[in-house]
Structure 1
Amino acid sequence: MSAHSRPLRILGTGVSTPARWIDSAELDTRFGLAPGTMRARTGVTRRGLEPTRNAAEVSAEAATAALRAAGLRTDDLDALICANASHDQAMPCNAALLHRELGMHRVPAFDINASCIGFLAALDLIGSLLASGRYRRVLLSSCDLASRALDPGDPDTFGLFGDGAAAAVLDAGDDDDERRPALLAARFETWSDAVHACEIPGGGSRLTPARYVGDYRDVCTFRMDGKRLYRTAALHFDRFVAELLDEAGVGLAQIRRVVPHQASRLGMEHIFKRLGLPRDRIEDIFAEHGNQVSASLPTALHHALSEGRLERGDIALLLGTAAGVTLGGAVLRI
């Protein structure tokens, strides 16, 4: 077992079902594009949309499904953690809002924000909390309603992203077998020279409505320089993955399945090419969901687990990039 290893078992996962699916043909009509244009531009066939529910409500659906899959109730939890990139309001934290939606009492609730790879950052922290005995059982949820911050006049971003939530119930397991479920390694690197390549400038104390001259909606809209993001991540990707696998004490041949953040068609193609693995060993749900921001990777993980592509004892490589720019990865023995 790797020196970086910590016991971590997935007891159950769940995802939300969007209130509505929007297919690319509908967006072609909306933007006055020739049939097939949106699918060709983005690689997305359909994406989920939540017109009315807030993130806490959508998260509650995924969390309830994860608890059901684990055969547990909220009373069985020691902590609730939300790892969203965006939030229902500036304060309190979204975990507290989800806590109320689930009807919980006393159990501590707090947020972790690492943008698109919040779920990975939370796994790393939870692994340490479980290993130390601080908590026994944790509910982790990631949710983003990307549609709320998109420019409705920009077909490229509006067609790329989808709304959704995913959740997992985690514990340290109850056996001492060397092959027990574990977080074998986790690694993160931030390259902040590209910090403004992906952002929503408003909503914080730097740009308040009183300090901004103009239409405040302009700075509350998602902005992305996709090419710069890609270049920054691609520059470090090969070394990053090699060092992560080395820390985990495994080789790529031992990886049963790669579960990446479903960032974009270009990003997925880069992973296929750089890892050199058969495509059927890489979880790819991008065309059917789009980029769900923080919910993207855990949604892909849920599908891999619930549909039998990952089973007990398998080793999974989880990878993602996020605003910042941050690279993140984890090696899990399921």
Structure 2
Amino acid sequence: MTKHKNRSVQILSMGSYLPKKKVFADELDKKLGKKSGWVFDYSGVHTRYYVDDETAAQMGATACKRALENAERSIEDIECIICASGSMQQIIPCTASLILEELKCNTNPACFDINSTCLSFATGLDIAASLLDNGRYSNCLLVSSEVASKNLNWDAPKGAILFGDGAVCALLNRASANENSFVGTSLFHTYPEGAHFAEIKVGSNLPAREYCEDRKADFLFKMDGPAVYLGVLEHIHDFLKEFEQLAERSIKSYSAVIPHQGSGLGLQRMQKRLKISDQRFINIIHDYGNMIAASIPLALHLMIESGRIQRGDHVLLLGGGAGLGMGIVELCY
């Protein structure tokens, strides 16, 4: 294995949007007819946000506007918009083009989507960094905008109670040599034995016209939580060992590790396995739930805003996704 080349890319700024509707765990206890505390005890999520009248494109555009405002940039300056999300607003066209429509831009940046479910932001950052570093673009908006709440199956509550909606955008810029920001080593693997552990079946094999109440569950999100956990457990040791060999440093040496916010129990187990302190292991699931691909960038954004992550800090973005995928990206903020 050869050590990866650092790609000279900087996150200039970030922006986020949370839906207007805030949903508390005890509300879901009542909705599901469970005893008080059941939702929180099982999920580790106290609050999450659900869309009311917002769309994924509207949320994504608002997050983009806030990132641009924070960097004192205009949408007309942007060369590329990448929507990195696990949920799409519609099958065609790509959500990035719908975000551009909402932004009312006078120019015509490239727009495309990347979907590796919960890993989409990490995958998008890896791809965008290469495009920026090799000179294809000088900047881009990388946005994850997720609406999970519309496709949850409340007849299978253990999966449904984990999720929340929201959008996060990172404005990426090609960095100069004196800025010392980069996207470094990355590693992604997919383990096909887990291809059906988490899925929504709607598509060419299950077209929307075949919907009927008897098959409602096939059109909604389905997850075998124990199978996902065991799948990750089987591969995580070798996966992280391979990354450390590529990066030539220990995971424990990073300023912060930002994992996908999958579930409260999953995060506890991962932190214990990695032996990383509370200060460096970033856990925000209590207040936001599992926001699919938006989970990792929201945690990154909040840590930057709070000062827990500062320029020059070395950060790891780590997670898993349906498929069964695993990914990790090194970032020098």
Interval of TM-score (by shorter of Structure 1 and Structure 2): over 0.9
Superposition pairs of residues 17-166 of structure 1, within 5 angstroms: 17-104=18-105, 105-166=107-168
Letter aligned with residue 22 of structure 1? V
Letter aligned with residue 55 of structure 2? N
Letter aligned with residue 198 of structure 1? A
**1:183 corresponds to:** 183
Moved >6 Å (runs of 4+): none
Q: Deviations over 1:221-269 (max 9, x none)?
A: 0000011111111111122122223322322342000001000122201
Contact 1:187 1:329 in 2 (8 A): yes
Distance in 1 between residues matched to 2:156 and 2:198, nearest whole Å: 15
Contact 2:200 2:219 in 1 (8 A): yes
Q: Secondary structure at the match of 2:100?
A: helix
Which segment drifts farther, 168-177 or 278-287? 168-177
Q: Secondary structure at the match of 1:6?
A: coil
User: Quick check: 1:329 aligned with 2:328?
Assistant: yes
The offset of 1:154, in angstroms, is 3.3
**2:5 corresponds to:** 4
Distance in 1 between residues matched to 2:27 and 2:139, nearest whole Å: 43
Structure 1 pair 7/205, CA: closer, same or farther in 2 (3 Å)?
Answer: same
User: Quick check: 1:195 aligned with 2:195?
Assistant: yes
Structure 1 pair 41/230, CA: closer, same or farther in 2 (3 Å)?
Answer: same
Give the paired residue count: 331
Structure 2 gap segments, 5+ residues each: none
Letter aligned with residue 282 of structure 2? E
Q: Deviations over 1:101-124 (max 9, x none)?
A: 011231111101110010011111
What's the TM-score, normalizing by structure 2?
0.95
Q: Secondary structure at the match of 1:72?
A: coil
Structure 1 gap segments, 5+ residues each: none
Structure 1 pair 152/252, CA: closer, same or farther in 2 (3 Å)?
Answer: closer
Distance in 1 between residues matched to 2:210 and 2:46, nearest whole Å: 40
The offset of 1:214, in angstroms, is 6.1
The offset of 1:90, in angstroms, is 1.0
Distance in 2 between residues matched to 1:330 and 1:289, nearest whole Å: 22
**1:289 corresponds to:** 288
Contact 1:4 1:247 in 2 (8 A): no
Letter aligned with residue 328 of structure 1? G
The offset of 1:128, in angstroms, is 0.8
The offset of 1:211, in angstroms, is 5.5
**1:207 corresponds to:** 206
